[in-house]
Amino acid sequence: MATVKKAEEMVERVMKGNDASHDASHVWRVRSLALSLARDEGLSANPDSMEIVELAALLHDIGDYKYRRDPSEEKLVENFLNEECVEEGKKMKILKIIEGMGFKDELAGSSTVESLPEFGVVQDADRLDAIGAIGIARCFTFGGSRNRVLHDPEIKPRMELTKDQYMKKEEQTTVNHFHEKLLKLKDLMKTEAGRRRAKKRHEFMVEFLKEFYEEWEGRA
């Protein structure tokens, strides 16, 4: 499909300067996961749903606030969908899915798209890529790109976060991010297929952190 190809080109172009935690490879993995989850959840019988899932997965990190270089980037996805003459109903679903994807929005209780089946598989796919072995690698890559403290036993994780607190990156350490967000994602999955896959990835992170703390304290 021509629109998908152009979306892929946009991802390559716009995300080229991002660090490896939020680069094009992240988007390709999320797309593959989202389409796989959609098939597991029975959405493949509806070509329109699969198109919405694929485009939302491809475009979900375009204009991400963490990497925004210019305020106009906030409208990149909407402008792209308009230029591609994506049917209005599909366009609105894609935009709503992307708008409601973030963990910060769930903290604020502002998500309005949970009733869309396409939303569940795209968000779950994005969250699956944030946990497990890939998630660990991405977490430390992002922390390093922001010169974040690796670990400080004196800085305790904030277990009850507001949206504003979550977005104040200077208050975080990389390891605390596991407790403040990543270890919570397993129980926030929207689909049965997402929950099944999250279980193994979650357990891998738990074992990693156990080893990390033992090595940090010189006990391993």
Task: Write the CATH number for 101.
Answer: 1.10.3210.50
Q: Which residue has the tokens 């999250």?
A: 198
Q: At what angle do helices 192-216 and 24-40 cross, to 10 degrees?
A: 140
Q: How many domains does the chain have?
A: 1
CA terminus-to-terminus distance, the chain: 53
* Collapsed DSSP state (helix, strand, coil) of residue 24: helix
Tokens representing 66 are 């963490």
Torsion from C-alpha of 184, 187, 191, 193, nearest 10 degrees:
90
Domain that holds residue 85: 2-216
- What averages of pLDDT result for each successive group of 10 residues across the chain (220 residues)? 95 94 97 98 97 98 82 87 97 95 67 79 98 98 94 90 64 91 96 98 98 94
**Cut 0.75: pTM above it:** yes
